[in-house]
Structure 1
Amino acid sequence: MKRRLLGLALALALPAVHAQTGAADIRAGRAALAAEQPVQARARFAAALADPGLGREDRCAAQLGLGQATLWLGDYRAAAEAYRAALAQAPDEASRQVAATGLAQALNAQDRPREALALVAPFAAGQLRPTVEVLRSLRSLDQAPRGRPYLDAAPPAPAGGYLGTQFRLLSDDMAYALAPHIDATFDASHDSEGLDTWHVGVGALSAPATRGSASLAWGARADTLEVDDGRRSRRVYGASVLGQWHADTQRLDLVLGSGRAGDWHFLQGSAAWTVQPSDDFGLSAGVERAPVPTPTSLAQRLIGNRYALDLSLRASTHWYVLPGAYRQVFSDGNHRDGGGLRLLFSPLDVADTRGALGAELSTRLFHDSRPSRGVYFNPARYRATQAGLIGVYGLDPGWKLRANADVGRQWIDGNGASTYTVGLSLEGRLPGNGRLRLGVGRSSVASVSGGGAGYWNDNASLSLSWTL
């Protein structure tokens, strides 16, 4: 009888012992986070959650700590799971907001801005940490005007640290997108067939006018293009008006203008409409009219109209499936029908570094109704496949280095040849909230002027932009 009473007493005491043990693990986990030891913190919070006697409030606290530790370690998927569990266990509104903010940070890191925005937008105004996630989501969605009320209501940010640095960078990005700005671009290329191109463009875009969740901006642009194949040189001048319309899930970009090459005057421009109702699906349709940029084509006044349809499908957290199809109608009577498929693995952070690695597999093909030689690259049948790696490295919070290297094979009218593409770009911020992008690369994939075994094309580009 005494043994039974002792066993009952021990059984009644176990929940209290478990609760004390779980609470001790939570305190140890918090101490590890304060000491910048996320691995130890993750182990402590996991140990607390393994305790069956842990109460709802402590379980929420342990999930919040686990989410913070795994987020620190770059395991965004595990962090999202922990924060979702904390959200379900939250005993009050304050805990719910902390969990929702952490979940939004994990979702933004996984390129899920719409889902993240829906979580924090209702309560973020006046709070710094959720405001950072709202601004991050709106930057990804290219919807800066919706961020103005959150910027106006944001409390003072600390001078340094993660939160202060991110708020400063995001505030600069919002200010850039909300202000009128001017830009200048320069592009040059040289290929193994002797074709040289130089392009210079300048443009101005107004500040967006907003109404509800929609915004409208307009501007103008002037361009000059020179092409030289060693035998003749041609120069093209262009002037265009610009329009950009954004709504919650849609975007429309218009470029309408005219061009001149010698005494040949022509209309040119483009229109692109994109709808993206979720983080997992997007649809784009576009039309473009432009001259074919080779000296012989310009001499023959050759121009093409291109009609395209592209999809963006998200298969998993990092995998994207990007199919597309197009038809191109040239003024020489040639019709080109083509398409492509890209499988993109978006860059994944490399632990304990500022770098990330991704990968891509792509294939494209087209066929021409009237193949020809000597005017522009115009085979009867073309097919190419490439696979490669993508690397991104953060030099500091305001500068990013990106590199890609691809190898593959192409077939031109049945004749195969190996291909490669390498590229390097630098993107960063300039004084006065300006932006810079510098890129260089080489490719052996067929271009507008030619292709095949031994072909290569070198290219360089520079883009500068400042707010007014």
Structure 2
Amino acid sequence: MNRRLLWLALLVPPVAHADLPSMANDIQAGRAALSAGQPAKARELFEAALAQPGGAREDRYAASMGLGQSSLWLGAYPGAASAFRAAHDLTDDTQAQQAADTGLAQALNAQDYPRKAYALVEPFAKGQIRPTVELMRATQALGWQDLGANYLDLETPPQQGYLGTQYQLLKDDIHFAQAPQLEGDFGYSHDSDGLDTLHLGAAYRFAPSSSGDWSQRWGVAAGTTRVDDGVAVHHLDDLSLLGQLRIGESNVVDLDLGPGRSGSWHYLQGTARWTLQPSDSFSLSTGAERAPIPTDTAVADRLIYNIYSVGVSFRPAARWYVLPTYYRQNFSDGNHRDGGTLRVLLSPYDIPGTRGAIGAEFSARIFNSSLPSRGVYFNPAQYRTAQIGLVGVYSINQDWKVRGVASVGRQEVDGAGASAYTVGVSLSGRLPGNGRLELQLGRSSTASASGGGSGYWNNSMNLAVRYPL
């Protein structure tokens, strides 16, 4: 989204070496265009200044900083990053290099490279508002809020303007992440086979604790799910221990494990996941999940499944993400599935002059069942689906954001083809008292545990509210 005043102060003296008057004039005119809110004109002027041969290093530094600043404003983040790198190499002054590195960190954060951004500004951010904002932004993206909390001791943080607003928003995010939290969630789904699923849940998370490279957070959660197919109704209750452990900068373990029951049936349910992320461009994750099959007939037969998965995420280019996953699903009736998913994402591009951005995604899923069956849960011998669609993001204001997706494609159930589609919208934002809300609405024709194939559809709604205590 086109964010006005994504400025960094140039932090350089007025052009002092006018070896080429046209260069000095272009720099001064570029700065005037920025002050007048004309970043496109400013970028042209700074590019013209840098196109001049020769010129003093101080002038070329000033032009590079101006080019980076105007490119940031226009959302041209790769160009901004190149300009700030060039500016860093044009000066030996420590303060001027830090200004260039801060601009580069802002460009990297905007392109989802928070590790690189953090490494740039961490050595000098303490006590300085601009690098502190970029450091806090990076720690927020990485889940390292405990590290960002160490930078909240500015003597005179700005109260207004872009920096003041961003500092306060990021400060609220860090305080939220570092506080005990109470969460409530609600979910409902209804499909074309007449299956209604209603879920209510609550969770309490203790404040996280950190020591060196180790961070941990624990909590408890409870929920109840009502499954109704119009013939029978079953209730499933669960109680879970929640845990999240960060080991160093690359390893995260997430736990959500505990007992569940439906009537006299008692079972172990939950998830466990380990993620290794050594860089901004690659991660590896493995996980295990155990849960009952959410249909009335499956609950009546006490059927449960275990899923074991391994997946990677890598970025062949700045805006492209490729996420393949393999999984093995074992059912208590003796059936097992080998399957996989693939997602290819193009992160949204800002739409000039608006608060919106648009991207794209491709998704695919396949599996083969060893013991295909009918009636108890959706269990064909083979299932294939692939979809391609658009992703849109719109910032209502600094507190609220809407995201939508619309995809179409094809699915195949035991050789029988049918169209496939997915539409969804989510609303996320801040509530009074530093709370958080997320609402998701969706409709999809792709298979679920209860049904699939030609004519199938499922409507869903999920709402979660969290408050710090």
Class of the TM-score when normalised by the shorter of the 2 chains: over 0.9
Distance across 2 between alignment mates of 1:212 and 1:202:
31
Partner in structure 1 of residue 25 of structure 2: 24
Give the match for residue 306 of structure 2: 305
User: Residue 181 of structure 1 corresponds to which residue in structure 2?
Assistant: 181
Deviation, structure 1 residue 29: 1.0
Say which structure is richer in helix.
1
Match of 1:271, SS? strand
**Are residue 195 (structure 1) and residue 195 (structure 2) matched?**
yes
Residue 417 of structure 1 is matched in structure 2 by 418
Whether 2:388 is the aligned partner of 1:379: answer no
Q: Distance in 2 between matches of 1:288 and 1:180?
A: 26
Q: Deviations over 1:181-222 (max 9, x none)?
A: 010100000000000000011000011100013210101000
Question: SS of the residue aligned with 2:467?
Answer: strand
- Between the aligned partners of 1:405 and 1:51, the Cα distance in structure 2 is 48
Runs of 5+ unmatched residues, structure 2: 1-16
Matching residue's letter, 1:97: Q
**SS of corresponding position for 1:315:** strand
- Cross-structure match for 2:3: none
| Distance apart, 1:39 and its partner CA | 1.3
Distance 2:256 2:321 in 1: 28
Per the alignment, in what secondary structure is the counterpart of residue 36 of structure 1?
Answer: coil
For 1:207 and 1:347, locate their aligned partners in 2 and report how far apart those are by CA, in whole Å.
Answer: 34
- What does 1:216-235 correspond to in 2, within 5 Å? 216-235=216-235
Deviation at 1:255, TM superposition (A): 1.3
* Contact 1:146 1:213 survives alignment (8 Å): no
In the alignment, which residue of structure 1 is the partner of 2:161?
A: 161
1:95 is paired with a residue whose SS is helix
Please report how far the alpha carbon of residue 362 of structure 1 lies from its aligned counterpart in structure 2 after TM superposition: 1.3
Alpha-carbon distance in 1 for matches of 2:190, 2:342: 28
Deviation at 1:20, TM superposition (A): 2.3
Indicate if the aligned counterparts of 2:18 and 2:24 stay in contact, CA closer than 8 A: no
Which residue of structure 2 lines up, in the alignment, with residue 113 of structure 1?
114
Matched, 1:134 2:135: yes
| Normalised TM-score (structure 1) | 0.95
Q: Greater RCO between the two (CA within 8 Å, min separation 6)? A: 2
Contact 1:289 1:306 in 2 (8 A): yes
Match of 2:433 in 1: 432
Partner residue in 2 for 1:457: 458
Counterpart Cα distance in 1 of 2:103 and 2:205: 36
Report matched runs for 1:317-396 at 5 Å: 317-396=318-397
Alignment of 1:50-69 (within 5 A): 50-69=51-70
Supply the AA of the counterpart residue of 2:176: Y
What secondary structure is seen at the aligned counterpart in 2 of 1:165? helix
Contact 2:64 2:86 in 1 (8 A): yes
- The CA deviation string for residues 50-92 of structure 1, in whole angstroms up to 9 with x for no partner, is 1112111111111000000010011001101101111111230
Shift of 1:43: 1.3
**Other structure's SS at 2:396 match:** strand
Q: Is the 8 A contact 1:48 1:54 kept in 2?
A: no
Which residue identity does 2:33 align to in structure 1? A
TM-score, normalised with respect to structure 2: 0.95
Aligned twin of 1:77: 78
**Identity over aligned pairs, percent:** 56
Alignment-mate amino acid for residue 103 of structure 2: G
Q: Partners in 2 of 1:39 and 1:193 — Cα distance?
A: 55
* Separation in structure 2 between the aligned mates of residue 300 and residue 251 of structure 1, nearest angstrom: 36
1:360-419 deviations in Å (ceiling 9; x for gaps): 011110000001100011100000000000000000001000110000100000000001
- Aligned AA (1:463): A
Which letter maps to 1:241? L
User: Aligned partners of 1:112, 1:381: CA distance in 2, in Å?
Assistant: 39
Structure 1 stretches lacking a partner, 5+ long = 1-15
Kindly state the Cα deviation for residue 19 of structure 1 after the two structures are TM-superposed: 2.3
Q: Matched residues in 2 for 1:217 and 1:298: separation?
A: 33
Q: Are 1:255 and 2:250 matched, yes or no?
A: no
Count of residues in Structure 1 that have an aligned counterpart in Structure 2 = 452
CA distance in 2, matches of 1:317, 1:348: 12
The C-alpha deviation readout for 1:234-274, integer Å capped at 9, x for no partner, is 00011111111013111000112000101001111211000
- Residue equivalent to 1:210: 210
CA shift for structure 1 position 46? 1.0
Whole-angstrom CA distance in 1 between matches of 2:92 and 2:60? 10
Do the aligned residues in 1 keep the contact of 2:295 with 2:376 (CA within 8 Å)?
yes
Alpha-carbon separation, structure 2, partners of 1:162 and 1:155: 18
Deviation larger for 205-214 or 193-202: 205-214
289-298 or 45-54, larger mean C-alpha shift: 45-54
Deviation at 1:350, TM superposition (A): 1.0
Cα shift at 1:158? 2.4
Letter aligned with residue 189 of structure 2: S
- Alignment match, 1:151: 152
Q: Aligned AA for 1:362?
A: S
Deviation at 1:17, TM superposition (A): 7.1
Distance (Å, rounded) in 2 between the aligned partners of 1:102 and 1:213: 27
Higher mean alpha-carbon deviation, 31-40 vs 190-199, is at 31-40
**Inter-partner Cα distance in structure 2 for 1:74 and 1:155:** 31
Structure 2 CA distance for aligned equivalents of residues 293 and 278 of structure 1: 37
